[in-house]
Structure 1
Amino acid sequence: MGEVVVWKSCWLPGSETFIRHQMDALVNWTPTPLGLRRQPSPLARESDILLGRPGLRGGLEERLLTFCGWHPRLAAYLKSLQPDLIHIHFASEARGVDLIARRLGIPYVVTVHGNDVTEAPRRPGFMGYLYRRSVARVLRGAAHVIAVSDFTKAQAVALGASEPNCSVAHVGIPVPDRVDRTPGYDVVFVGRLVPVKGVDHLLRAVASAERNGNRKIRVGIAGDGPERDKLVLLAQRLGIQADFLGMLDGPGIHTLLAGAKVFVGPSVTTSTHQTEGFGLVFLEAAAHGLPVASYQSGGIPEAVQDGTTGLLAPEGDMEQLAANITALLEDADLRDRMGLAGRERVIRDFDIMRTTARLESIYASASDGALPGLATQPPR
């Protein structure tokens, strides 16, 4: 059994279920969740090891870690534990941790997920320059760079990762053994209520579909975020029957998806270049037999096969999105065919046990020094 430290500065936001799922699916490696702070969420566990301090002192130490690689408690813990490998999620969170790992001779791999290699590198001014420079160092020094999609891999390579030392390895999801369909919403969405998720596009497209089809469409929206109040007002103004359900736990999401007809997640590229890196939620919908209506944006075309597991409109084309929603709602055969194709694809290619086996092979090669990036690592 290998020992891997899984690093996230904050354990663990509710939107990062995929990290917990991946850790729990490891077979040949023992993971140690390590970070600085605790996030109040259903994903937090008492077994998470947190080395940060409260208040101003903790904030200062976190900044010193990010910009200087200085954090004596973290360095001492890693030196004492001597893991075989460190797995860091998000290139943005690897800054500083990479310097400590290299000083201790511990190889690390980093997974790039999306905003860490799309929006964040485009920050203006001196802070943007520092971010790009430090992330380039992180990517060049990694034993391996893992991208969640071809789209995010291209972004990582553009920032400094070497092509041979960067590969696509999907996180995967747990797949329910069976899905018992029960009557529920026509259209559902699950995710954070933030601009990149395009929920305002969903609401406007539903309003258009209702006008064109002369029918009411029941919408269930699970999630929370800073856009919630604005979206509630928009739904009221458009006259849409939309229920904002808040944050749901795993069983709640399962029930929501099992009772729906279509999943709609029209993520967009924001004015700050934030883009959907892949979108595991599309796989979760497919695992429940739901076809997807979305946009051709970022890594979405890798998660949703246009014409096979869902229908993708050009990004921002709300009329085509509305037409796709209508087509899926009105044609039960099309809906069932795409839902079945999506579920079969998830079982074949994205089951968490299969994708985690691929991750474990990367772990083994990285810890043994068999991957190109280890040439930059000092000897242990």
Structure 2
Amino acid sequence: MQNPGNQAQVAYILKGFPRTSETFITNEIHLLETLGLKLSIFSIKQLEGQKHHAVVDAIRAPVTYLPQASDLTGHSFLDWLIENLPKFAASHGRLFLKRPITYLGTALECLSMSIRYRSGWLDWPRTVFIKEFLQAGYIAEAVLQNPAIRHLHAHFCHGATTIAMFASRISGLPFSFTAHAKDIYLRELNPGDLLQIKMRCAKFAVTCTGANQEHLDACKGSDIDVHRIYHGLDTDLFVPAPREQASSDQIPTILSVGRLVEKKGFDYLVKACAILRDRGVKFNCRIVGGADKYAQVIKQLIADLDLQDIVSLPGAVTQEELRGIYQQGDVFALPCLVVDNGDRDGIPNVLVEAMAMEMPVISTDISGIPELIQDQVNGLLVPEKNAQAMADAIQSLLDNPALRLRLGQAARQTVCRDFNSRHTTVALKKLFDACLEGQPLEAHVCCAEHS
């Protein structure tokens, strides 16, 4: 019998852990552990100022934080290298002594990529790959010291997966990755044929929507299976309490949740609020989420439209706090859009959470959202970048309590049937188990097969 202490492990490579906005990753890690999978976590960054979700405390996997490399921007590369190379030199020295041929081969590939994927013929090499090679070496040396680690898995298929690919080449361990949103669609994050190379090198790839799966299948150029596995939600955790019937003089609340970034479309929600106010509709709107660079645009728009008394931006909250906030809302609206550079959401987790709480939801018909919401069946869909259509949909729900009730109940049924994390995580664990045991992978796993 295998010693439990030597049970085969998967090493998760993450840009940062724990990140407030990435509850789907912390929940996934926790559920994989409850299913018996042993994990180790490597975090490229140490995050500060993050809200702490309770599930993080339940995770048993050890977390290794890499030496903190400074930002490449604003420095000459030579100055950056002088400052940061000492942080990684010992690991790379030991790696070279252990595996000189594979180490030098990976280093040469890194240098080749930095030249091949530069923006133009006259531009400097793309030095971010050298930074990622240094970080990969630190991880590779660590996993070689722990023979229980037999597989590497990265979340988001740009930086973290580049590091996983380098670490895989040096260590000889297979790797896989989960692709999400901008990491798939923004060419500058995977320039040239880099995404195809990652897919050729990876043992398997996972993505969280059917739309993403079709996109990756179309561009992969290899025999790799792309597995669609929805993030899923703990439907025992997100359970709605009975709602009291609102009095006629009670002002309803429009709720939205998400980081204040352009692809969430919050500016169109704010404009829709202005339309509703001008129609004489009484309501409050709360947009709950952490501030980002785009936050100032939203704040300025609220001021320009004189909506300060109607629209509030309370900031980021924990999952535990968010459950209570969902309970206080009457309508959930998230007008997601495709940004000019191609960035977009897959299936926003907050939509799944709101639907699990039996909230009537409104969103847009882009990306993977129609895989979750069927218009007039379990929610409402409107065209992207259309404040008028968003305002009309919100008003239709505010004016019709029976419709809100019907859509909310159907929404929870959808989540319990197709997005229950106990099913989706089983699908992911089966992939990891197959890799750890050297078995063939089951093609195109998705949550529906486990419903």
For residue 239 of structure 1, what is the aligned residue in structure 2? 306
Instruction: Measure the CA separation in 2 of the matches of 1:54 and 1:94.
Output: 17
Q: Does 1:76 align with 2:145?
A: no
Deviations 1:215-273 (A, max 9, x none): 22210111122222332232233233011101111222111111101111101111111
Distance in 1, matches of 2:195 and 2:256, equals 33
Residue in structure 2 matched with residue 19 of structure 1 by the alignment: 25
Give the match for residue 31 of structure 1.
Answer: 39
C-alpha distance in structure 2 between counterparts of 1:139 and 1:249, whole Å = 34
**Taking structure 1 as reference, are residues 217 and 59 closer, same or farther at Cα in structure 2, changes over 3 Å only?**
farther
Is 1:66–1:97's contact at 8 Å kept on the other side of the alignment? no
Distance 1:307 1:4, change over 3 A: same
1:189 maps to 2:236: no
**Cα–Cα, structure 1 residues 236 and 141, in superposed 2: closer, same or farther, change >3 Å?**
same
1:275-310 Cα offsets, whole Å, 9 max, x none, are: 112211110110111111111112211222222121
Task: Write out aligned runs for 1:243-322 (5 A).
Answer: 243-322=312-391
Q: Return the alpha-carbon distance in structure 1 between the equivalents of residues 135 and 129 of structure 2.
A: 6
Partner of 1:215: 281
Closer/same/farther in 2, CA of residues 2 and 68 from structure 1, 3 Å limit: closer
What CA RMSD, in Å, does the superposition of the two structures yield over aligned residues?
A: 2.5
The residue type paired with residue 284 of structure 2 is R
Q: 1:239 to 1:186 in 2, by over 3 A?
A: same
Name the counterpart of 1:142: 202
Distance 2:240 2:135 in 1: 49
Matched, 1:5 2:74: no
**Deviations 1:60-101, CA, capped at 9 Å, x for gaps:** 669455665774322110111231322210110211321321
Match of 1:42 in 2: 51
Name the SS of the counterpart of 2:185 in structure 1. coil
Between the aligned partners of 1:78 and 1:137, the Cα distance in structure 2 is 23
Which consecutive unaligned segments of at least 5 residues does structure 2 have? 1-6, 71-79, 89-126, 444-451
**Residue 218 and residue 112 in structure 1: after superposition, are their counterparts in 2 closer, same or farther (change >3 A)?**
same
Q: Which amino acid aligns with 1:36?
A: I
Question: Does the 8 Å CA contact 2:20/2:318 hold for their aligned counterparts?
Answer: no
> Are 1:157 and 2:224 an aligned pair?
no
Shift of 1:211: 2.8
Q: What is the DSSP-based 3-state SS (H/G/I as helix, E as strand, rest coil) of the residue aligned with 2:10?
A: strand
Q: How many residues are paired up?
A: 365
- Percent of pairs identical after alignment? 22
Give the secondary structure class of the aligned counterpart of 1:297.
coil
What's the offset of the Cα at 1:154?
A: 2.1
State the 1:163 CA deviation.
6.6
Counterparts in 2 of 1:359 and 1:185: CA distance versus 1, 3 Å = farther
Give the match's secondary structure for 2:259: coil
Per-residue CA deviation, residues 301-330 of structure 1 (Å, 9 max, x unaligned), is: 122222212111122222122111111111
Paired with 1:195 and 1:177, the residues of 2 have a C-alpha distance of: 27
Specify the SS of the correspondent of 2:38: strand
Residues in 1 aligned to 2:191 and 2:131: alpha-carbon distance in whole angstroms = 10
Code of the aligned partner of 2:155: H
Residue 86 of structure 1 aligns to a residue in which SS?
strand
Equivalent in 97, 106, 113 of residue 164 of structure 2: 97
Deviation (angstroms), 1:334: 0.8
- How far has the Cα of 1:185 moved from its partner? 5.2
In the superposition, the TM-score normalised over structure 1's length comes to 0.88
**Amino acid of the residue matched to residue 178 of structure 1?**
V
| Separation in structure 2 between the aligned mates of residue 244 and residue 337 of structure 1, nearest angstrom | 29
Q: Which residue of 1 aligns with 2:108?
A: none
Write the distance in 1 (CA, Å) between the matches of 2:238 and 2:339: 37
Q: AA paired with 1:42? A: K
Structure 1 residues 290 and 107: alpha-carbon distance in aligned structure 2, compared to 1, 3 A threshold: same
Contact 1:5-1:31 at 8 Å conserved across structures? yes
Q: Closer, same or farther in 2 for the Cα pair 1:372/1:141, shift >3 Å?
A: farther
Larger radius of gyration: 2
Secondary structure at the counterpart of residue 407 of structure 2: helix
Shift in Å, 1:161: 5.8
Superposition deviation, residue 25 in structure 1? 0.6
Helix, strand or coil at the partner of 1:25: helix
Look up the match of 1:376. Answer: none
Structure 2 CA distance for partners of 1:372 and 1:103, relative to 1, 3 Å:
farther
CA-CA distance at 1:356 after TM superposition: 0.7
Per the alignment, in what secondary structure is the counterpart of residue 191 of structure 2? helix
User: Structure 2 CA distance, aligned partners of 1:103 and 1:297?
Assistant: 40
Q: Contact (CA 8 Å) 1:296, 1:314: kept in 2 or not? A: yes
Query: 1:369 deviation in Å?
Result: 4.2
- Taking the aligned partners of 2:302 and 2:326, their CA distance within structure 1 comes to 21
Bigger mean CA offset, 202-211 vs 264-273: 202-211
Q: Deviations over 1:168-210 (max 9, x none)?
A: 0011122236322367852111101111110000011122233
C-alpha displacement of 1:131: 2.6
| 1:168 and 2:235 correspond | no
Equivalent residues in 2 for 1:51-90 (5 A)? 51-55=66-70, 56=80, 63-64=128-129, 68=133, 71-82=136-147, 83-90=149-156
327, 336, 341: which one aligns with 2:396: 327
Tell me how far apart the structure 2 counterparts of residues 194 and 178 of structure 1 sit (CA, whole Å).
Answer: 28
**TM-score calculated relative to the size of structure 2:** 0.75
